[in-house]
Structure 1
Amino acid sequence: MSDLATTEPGLDEAMERYRVELTGYCYRMLGSSFDAEDAVQDTYIRAWRSFEKFEGRSSLRSWLYRIATNVCLDLLNAGNKRARPMDLTAPQAQASAVLNERPEVTWLEPVPDGRVLPQTADPAEAALAKESVRLAFVAALQHLPAKQRAVLILREVLAWKADETAELLDTTVASVNSALQRARATMAAHPPREGRPADPLDADQAELLRRYLTAFEAYDITSLTALLHEDAVLSMPPFDLWLQGPADIAAWHLNQGIGCKGSRLIPTTANGLPAFGQYRPAEDGVGHTPWALQVLEISADGRIVGLNAFLDTARWFPLFGLPERLA
């Protein structure tokens, strides 16, 4: 049965086919994994309530995207805008670093790949999808006004035609083309930081991550910082502190961050990037307890350019299916 012929008793099953791609769309719009899932749930509730008005003139997929767009625009019009520490403050030096915590709603959030990346057999399509959920790309999207953001995602990430996008946004093709041109100009002024999606890993990336895991668990900071790009960044939301350069990152790990010595890392993925669940030694001396979700950004020349340590493990570890404790 095509989605055009969907009847209400089969609506749940029909809508479920689009959950992952809709969540990915809402995540790019909102910059929050939890807000994206809430937006999709709200989309489905609105679809159920107004299904009798769905006349089948467009596909069910297009209709759901229209609803999801309106949900996201409502949220963004309320002033929601996510950022990374690098968007808010200047880098600090390790010796004088101050940990200033900001509310959860401030931060661009990580997301598990499986929640936002639909399965596809097309390598080029898969690569574009991973590229478009990278932390740096989603952060750059946050600089766009809400409707420009929607146009850019629909046209350049999801490959919608201009007339399809215009119909979805209830506007003209000329308006869509103008919004896309302005969005491209803004993105060019705030280019995403370099980084390579890492799924599947190539041999060099796999070796880099093996060396990183070995160095971190041994707390061999000399070996760890040898893997960093010269302008690598360490950030730790919910704190707005960020450090730049191997020297300050090494000094942080050997001073304020010394409690990470003896940590264990569990590999995972986030935003199309390699990631680790970090567990520090438990205070009671038995096993290891959650400390951070580390998301790594890797440059084209095989160096780590970003160490993103998301510290709110009560939110992230259940979402990523990471254990509550390591024995």
Structure 2
Amino acid sequence: MSAPGWLAAAFDDHRRELHAHCYRLAGNVADADELTQETFLRAWRARDRFEGRASVRTWLYRIATNAFLDTRKAAERRTAPASDILEWSTAIGPYPDVAADVEGAEIVELALIAALMYLPPRQRAAFVLRDVSGWTPGEVAAVLGVAVPAANSLVQRARRTVRGHAPADPQDWRRPVLTAGDEEILRRYREASGAESIRILLADDVRITMPPDPPVVGADAVAAFLARPLDWRTVPVRANGRPALVNYLRAEGSARYEGLVVDVLRIVDGRIAEINAFVGAAHVAAFGLPARLDPAPHL
């Protein structure tokens, strides 16, 4: 097989997992798309230098990881605020679930994605490779181009930070299994129209995160916020193993609905405990949905 042929085949074989890897590093689908494309371009330019000493998968992961690190060199010198990143960061976004996705284990819980954003880029890369993807210390070192002790040090420092922000049990880092009960709560949430019908679905301490706006906290405040008389159309989806809605808003005087926000629900004991709202057309586009919808015809 020619060099372009083997590279195209290898990239197609690993595209899905590479994209998921880039998402875990970057925290949103738009950046993951760009990093995945950059990975292929860099691999194409370097195709004649690939000697086969490592697997082509490891080689592609190394290229993807270095592409991420190159985009984050300035970020490595900054520190994140101590407050919940989901409340203030506009750099995080949901990852769409594919119903027939055989590599669903590649997708991780939204809470872990938020926790990873507290890490400097090289620690983030080391942690994702070692503790999320399950690579050996030697493999992590090879991808990062460092000695094994240096790779282990990066992982250890990352673990100390992640413990303060992620779910305590690593089993909770994987995307959860969406249940029929979750689907029913999503249906009722989608169809609810007044504050009371919304209120009964909510945990008492529920909150909405919606950066750059401040969070809305408490069942009464959240119910009142969601019951505002706005003209919405919604599409049910799944994201990071959670039930979600893509929301289209028609402004007064507008002829069409504009894709505005993706709501990702966290359901605990049959009640909505958290709604992570991701505002922006890029989040809608990540689900392969149109940017605009026409009003439904009158029957």
Whether 1:153 and 2:121 are equivalent positions in the alignment is no
Q: Give 3-state SS (helix, strand or coil) of 1:113's partner.
A: coil
Whether 1:247 and 2:224 are equivalent positions in the alignment is no
Say which of 18, 33, 38 aligns to 2:34.
Answer: 38
Give the distance between the partners of 1:149 and 1:77, measured in 2 at CA. Answer: 13
Question: How far apart are residue 150 of structure 1 and its match?
Answer: 1.1
Aligned 1:47-62 pairs, distance under 5 A:
47-62=43-58
Aligned 1:1-327 pairs, distance under 5 A:
7-79=3-75, 87=84, 106-114=90-98, 119-120=102-103, 126=104, 128-130=105-107, 132=108, 134-192=109-167, 197=175, 199=177, 201-215=178-192, 219-237=193-211, 239-254=212-227, 258-260=228-230, 262-281=231-250, 283-284=252-253, 288-299=257-268, 301-313=269-281, 315-323=282-290, 324-325=292-293, 326-327=295-296
Q: Give 3-state SS (helix, strand or coil) of 1:263's partner.
A: strand
Structure with the higher strand share, 1 or 2: 2
Question: How far apart are residue 28 of structure 1 and its match?
Answer: 0.9
Give the distance between the partners of 1:303 and 1:290, measured in 2 at CA. Answer: 26
Per-residue Cα deviation, 1:150-173 (whole angstroms, up to 9, x for no partner): 111111111111111112212222
Identity rate, percent: 38
Give the distance between the partners of 1:296 and 1:197, measured in 2 at CA. Answer: 13
User: In structure 1, what residue type is equivalent to 2:289?
Assistant: L
Give the distance between the partners of 1:24 and 1:298, measured in 2 at CA. Answer: 24
Any unmatched runs of 5+ in structure 2? Answer: none
Q: Against the structure 1 CA distance between its residues 37 and 196, is the aligned structure 2 distance closer, same or farther, given a 3 Å change threshold? A: closer
Give the distance between the partners of 2:167 and 2:101, measured in 1 at CA. Answer: 23
Per-residue Cα deviation, 1:230-264 (whole angstroms, up to 9, x for no partner): 22211223x3311111122123235xxx243x533
User: In structure 2, what residue type is equivalent to 1:212?
Assistant: Y
- The alignment's C-alpha RMSD in Å is 3.2
Question: How far apart are residue 19 of structure 1 and its match?
Answer: 1.2
Q: Against the structure 1 CA distance between its residues 322 and 259, is the aligned structure 2 distance closer, same or farther, given a 3 Å change threshold? A: farther
Give the distance between the partners of 1:8 and 1:305, measured in 2 at CA. Answer: 49
Q: Give 3-state SS (helix, strand or coil) of 1:292's partner.
A: strand
> Do the aligned partners of 1:85 and 1:235 also contact (CA within 8 Å) in 2?
no
Give the distance between the partners of 1:308 and 1:140, measured in 2 at CA. Answer: 15
Q: Against the structure 1 CA distance between its residues 84 and 34, is the aligned structure 2 distance closer, same or farther, given a 3 Å change threshold? A: farther
